[in-house]
Amino acid sequence: MSTGEQKGERIAKRLARAGVCSRRDAERLIAEGRVKLNGDILKSPATNVTEADKIEVDGDPVGQKEATRLWRYHKPKGLVTSHRDEKGRDTIFDHLPSSLPRVISVGRLDLTSEGLLLLTNDGALSRHLELPATGWTRKYRVRAFGRITQERLDALKNGIKIDGVLYGGIDATMEREQGDNVWLEMVLREGKNREIRKVLEYLGLTVNRLIRVSYGPFHLGQMEEGAVEEVSQKAIEAALGKKF
């Protein structure tokens, strides 16, 4: 084990590179006593490790970094985007094919949301794609109860502040009315927690269906609910270059 000025890398970075979790989640795993280093429960995230160190998470050995891989997943509603849920609810990871390696999600979709969720075995890639600086948009189709005009939706392009939280510009288009509901297309450049639901609630609408249809250059397409499809290395390089 290496600490201080010795060689190696922080264990959070190592876990992220191995696709175990994001760097920020690594500290939580360590605090919960779920990480072992060379047979001993790790106490501090401020620890450097080398390739010679033996790391385990939940009793499973952490291997070396593999080639970066990315998958598209059609998340059904009713599943939590988390490896563990303190309320005991089903998570997406309970329903993924057993043939998949250990993966983490790029961002989250809440319990009642559905649609495209990207999965990767590379924690550094996950973090990179979540950052607004990446510039990738997230597109959603939304069904909401209530009435709204396109003029009010257009005002969202300038951003909006709700309960002290500033939400960035949103491109929102009304597709059609359906009974007491409206269907909208909404495009975001960042994804704060429950952003669409909170913004539309502020405008007097109640969201009753929320489907993510694209994340950057990757689209849900005609994938069936619960389906997982790997993105080709060629498509990854076209979207990201060779940095990953």
Would you name the residues annotated as active-site residues? Answer: 110
Whether the CB-CB separation of 78 and 90 falls below 8 Å is answered with yes
Chain-centroid distance, C-alpha 70: 12
The Cα–Cα gap between 232 and 220 comes to 15
The alpha carbon dihedral of 159, 219, 83, 62 has a sign of negative
- Report the alpha-carbon distance of residue 155 to residue 177 in Å, rounded: 20
How far out from the chain centre does Cα 56 lie?
A: 24
